[in-house]
Amino acid sequence: MTKKPLSPDLLRIDAQDEAARIENWVLDMVGKRFRKKGAVIGLSGGVDSSVCAAICVKALGAERIIGIFTPERECKEETNELGRLIADHLGITAIREDITELLKASGCYERRDDGIRMSVPEFQRGWGSKVVLPNILESDRLNISNIVVRDLDGNEIRQRMNTRSYLQVVAASNFKQRTRKMMEYYHADRLNYAVIGTPNKLEYDLGFFVKNGDGSADLKPIAHLYKTQVYQLGRHYGLPDIVLNRAPTTDTYSLPQSQEEFYFSLPYYHMDIALFAYHNGYTPLELSTYLSITPEQAERIYRDIESKRRMVQYLQSPPLILP
Amino acid sequence: MSNNGNDIKGKMREFVKNNFLYSSEIEDISDIDSFIDRGIIDSTGVLELIDFIEETFGISIENDEVVPENLDSFQNIERFVRSKL
Amino acid sequence: MEFNKNVLYMNSENEVERIIGFIRNNVVERKKEGLVIGLSGGIDSALVSALCVRALGKEKVFGLVLPEKESNPVSRDYAEIHAKALGIRYEVNEITRELEAFGAYEKRDSIIMDLYPEYLPDKHRIKITLPGNILEKDGLNFFSLTIDDGKKVLFFERLKKHQINGIFAATDLKQRTRMMHLYYNAERMNRLVCGTTNRPETLQGYFVKCGDGGVDMEPIAHLYKTQVYQLSRHLGIPPEIIDRQPSPDTFNSQVGDEEFFFRMPYDKVDMFLYAWEHGIDMEEICNVMDLSKSQVERVLRDLTSKFRSTKHLRELPPSLLACR
């Protein structure tokens, strides 16, 4: 059987059918399997959490949904505003929990800054920072990250990170996702609601989530959808344009950091096709033709996908137990 | 006029149907099915049941009355509530 | 299938070797440099840390002691004694400040104050319990709050659902905060977080999701509590830890696992769990354990109900992904 040539059309879904399918599944899971009364969703202002919220509203009723914002001092205010917009648009209760004091108490900022200083000794508190992976298309240097810092005058320094520094910065930053998730579980537990996980297929498959952070949930309604498909559902649900047009970010570092910079090294609509191609037996040559890159670059992408998937199988399984 | 059994059972069925999201299952539960065996009630489910019964029928359930004979089926609840009214 | 009072007895050294192999394989396969363990001063974490040291050597095991203001002071002492005896590096990190920032104490205390306005958090002690021993008297599970002033009981009342949910949501923050610290240390050192949940806890859902249940590996989740004791004695865990009453160590008024969760002593829990798992028939259970049919029935009913209602805690969160 000849495969169809790669194109965005291969990812197109019937949004109405798919929405209905997921909504029924959510009701079944929350009501029957978990015996819970509603759902809690962390609203980041991004399309994933917004679509999850829309699904749950249709499935369970707006009065049974709670949206939670968890801003902290390094968050952009825009995130909060977008989250609130979605909550109002869907007619759900919104709870705002500022987690800055929590992050200070756990030593998140301090420990992260110590990690940065292992690479940039002159780094000062209050400077902006973000972690960037090299573009996989440009080189084979996997897993060598750079830290970019910006001082108060706007000067930027870009520095390669050694392993210790990278691990420290990421481990400390992970307090943010975990603290957010703890807030979601707190509200869910007191109300006997389910916690919704918002990773999409790209994130779920490639491990772009924090264990016991955004990777934790009672159910994951869009883990089977490519990012392109999530946007399709977003349009189906009539989400505000400003949410649909916003580029995906990580909202973890104090400098704006796109997901592309931190983890994917390709824009999401290309990563979707690459992952689809990988899962459906397309050769690197076929991928390279579609993306207008060299076959070597396409091979690097496949190797990157493979190594990420290898690592993520542990993140996705329950704790290993001896039989 | 006696407080007939259907009233109590009817209210209980309505409560269980409205309070748990899986309402399609409710029709499927007979008057004598054990809630626990059917998996409808777990530890916090019991508490919810107790709270509702006390508030709706105006009775007070003592700790040592929190036993399956009194609470674990529509029929048991009806019998128990009638005995307290 | 055989069922008798000695059915849980194992060959200690063989079992230790088996668990050590499991620990080593996991660390090696995942290319990690060692393990991080939360040390509670209780027997489960003591056994797990001893096994990890046997498996990997003491340099590759890092202990974290994470007390808060309501922890039993003995927990921290015992944890430190044992860590020193094992020769592992460890850190003591009080999490009270964080719990205060979460409002964990405050949220719980405001629920209590609604019930008993005279409650004084700094002077009074609280605990939550289930009804008594289920073998002695049948009864469904409900939670009661006890407030005492160190000398006498001031308040005792059954809790409503929204009250117990609110209280547990607040106290579960303790276990989840600990999880965050375990992972911070594990991730910065490229290590795995090792869990300490045993078999009855696992199968009955006696752990906090994303708390003490949120770990990378569970080396004793297959062991009945009786077997935890057996292996602990075999490995020379300090007697004060072995003899300590097992408890969640969540409330400032001491409450044991029996009062708080199982409603039976551990040796009975183990036997019932074994019988239930292996489909031992009713008559045999009654004979071996010297109990009546109605006693056995009510325990099995409780066991099944707890297993079923916590099933989702042992599984991956469902999604619509097809099988990989």
Q: Do C62 and C156 have their domain in common? A: no
Q: By three-state DSSP, how is residue B47 classified?
A: helix
Asked whether residue C119 is domain-assigned, the answer is yes
Chain B hits for C306, Cβ within 8 Å? 42-43
Question: Distance between CA atoms of A288 and A137, rounded to whole angstroms?
Answer: 11
The alpha carbon of residue A36 is apart from the nearest alpha carbon of chain B, in Å, by 7
Q: Do C188 and C219 have their domain in common? A: yes
Confidence band, pLDDT 50/70/90 cuts, at residue B35: confident
> Which of C180, C11, A75, C307 is closest to B39 using CA atoms?
C307
Q: Do C113 and C226 have their domain in common? A: no
Question: Distance between CA atoms of A82 and A242, rounded to whole angstroms?
Answer: 8
- What torsion, rounded to 10 degrees, do the Cα atoms C199, C200, C204, C205 define? -60
Q: What is the pLDDT of residue B1?
A: 39
| Per-residue pLDDT reduced to its tens digit, A98-157 | 999 999 999 999 999 999 999 999 999 889 998 887 666 666 655 678 899 999 999 999
pLDDT value at B60 more than 60 = yes
Q: What is the pLDDT of residue B73?
A: 92
Chain B hits for A37, Cβ within 8 Å? 19-21
**What stretches of C1-72 show up as alpha helix (H) in DSSP?**
12-29, 43-56
Q: Do A50 and A168 have their domain in common? A: yes
Top pLDDT among C266 and A263 is at C266
Query: Is there a contact between C319 and A224 if contact means CB atoms under 8 Å apart?
Result: yes
Q: Do A308 and A296 have their domain in common? A: yes
User: Chain A: which residues have CB within 8 Å of chain B?
Assistant: 27, 30-32, 35-37, 60, 192
Residues C286, C290, C293, CA angle at the centre, nearest 5°? 35
Chain B hits for C161, Cβ within 8 Å? 44, 47-48, 51
Which of A146, A162, A178 terminates a domain? The answer is A162
pLDDT value at A264 more than 90 = no
Q: What is the pLDDT of residue B42?
A: 74
Paired tokens of B79: 């019998």
Query: Is there a contact between A221 and C170 if contact means CB atoms under 8 Å apart?
Result: no
Question: Distance between CA atoms of C207 and C201, rounded to whole angstroms?
Answer: 7
Chain C hits for B64, Cβ within 8 Å? 137, 139
Q: Do A175 and A221 have their domain in common? A: yes
- H or E element: which one contains C11? none
Q: What is the pLDDT of residue C223?
A: 96
Chain C hits for A219, Cβ within 8 Å? 317-319
User: Chain B: which residues have CB within 8 Å of chain C?
Assistant: 36-37, 39, 41-44, 46-48, 50-51, 63-64, 66-68, 71-72
| Per-residue pLDDT reduced to its tens digit, A288-305 | 999 888 898 899 889 889
**What stretches of chain A show up as alpha helix (H) in DSSP?**
15-27, 47-60, 77-90, 100-106, 108-117, 163-191, 201-206, 227-236, 241-244, 259, 268-279, 284-291, 295-316
Q: Do C178 and C95 have their domain in common? A: yes
Asked whether residue C55 is domain-assigned, the answer is yes
Q: Do C117 and C172 have their domain in common? A: no
Q: What is the pLDDT of residue B23?
A: 57
Q: What is the pLDDT of residue A293?
A: 87
Strands C61-65 and A39-42: unpaired
Residues C120, C125, C127, CA angle at the centre, nearest 5°? 125
Question: Distance between CA atoms of A254 and A131, rounded to whole angstroms?
Answer: 10
Q: Which of residues 7-36 of B touch A (CB under 8 A)?
A: 19-23, 25
Asked whether residue A258 is domain-assigned, the answer is no
Parent domain of C292: 12-100+166-312
**What stretches of C57-160 show up as alpha helix (H) in DSSP?**
73-86, 96-102, 104-115
Q: Do A75 and A173 have their domain in common? A: yes
Q: Do C53 and C18 have their domain in common? A: yes
Query: Is there a contact between B63 and C164 if contact means CB atoms under 8 Å apart?
Result: no
Percent of residues, chain A, with pLDDT higher than 70: 89
Q: By three-state DSSP, how is residue C84 classified?
A: helix
| Per-residue pLDDT reduced to its tens digit, C256-308 | 999 999 999 999 999 999 999 999 999 999 999 999 999 999 999 999 999 99
Parent domain of A31: 12-107+163-249
Q: Do A170 and A295 have their domain in common? A: no
Q: Identify from C69, C191, C210 which residue to disrupt to test chain A contact, counting A C-beta atoms within 10 A and taking the largest count.
A: C210
Mean pLDDT of the region A214-239: 96
Q: What is the pLDDT of residue A79?
A: 80
CB C166 within 8 A of CB C111: yes
The alpha carbon of residue C3 is apart from the nearest alpha carbon of chain B, in Å, by 25
Q: Which candidate from A168, A223, A322 shows the least CB-CB separation from C219?
A: A322
CB A221 within 8 A of CB A22: yes
Residue type, C269: V
Q: What is the pLDDT of residue B2?
A: 46
Q: How many residues does chain B have?
A: 85
Q: Do A83 and A29 have their domain in common? A: yes
Which of A97, A129, A162 terminates a domain? The answer is A162
> Which of C193, C201, C246 is closest to C52 using CA atoms?
C193
Q: Do C210 and C161 have their domain in common? A: no
Residue with tokens 């002492």: C77
| Per-residue pLDDT reduced to its tens digit, B1-14 | 345 556 899 999 88
Q: Do C280 and C161 have their domain in common? A: no
Instruction: Give the N- to C-terminal CA distance of chain A in Å, as an integer.
Output: 43
Question: Which ipTM score applies to this complex?
Answer: 0.95
Paired tokens of A52: 């999850």
Q: Which candidate from C22, C102, C184 shows the least CB-CB separation from A322?
A: C22
CB A194 within 8 A of CB A29: yes
| Per-residue pLDDT reduced to its tens digit, A10-54 | 999 999 999 999 999 999 999 888 889 999 999 999 999 999 999
Please state the CATH superfamily assignment of the domain spanning residues B5-84 in this structure: ACP-like (1.10.1200.10)
Q: By three-state DSSP, how is residue A129 classified?
A: strand
CATH number where C220 lies: 3.40.50.620
pLDDT mean values, one per 10 residues, chain C (324 residues): 91 97 94 97 97 98 97 95 97 97 96 97 95 91 94 96 96 97 98 97 96 95 97 96 93 93 95 96 96 95 91 90 58
Q: What is the pLDDT of residue A323?
A: 63
| Per-residue pLDDT reduced to its tens digit, C31-54 | 999 999 999 999 999 999 999 999
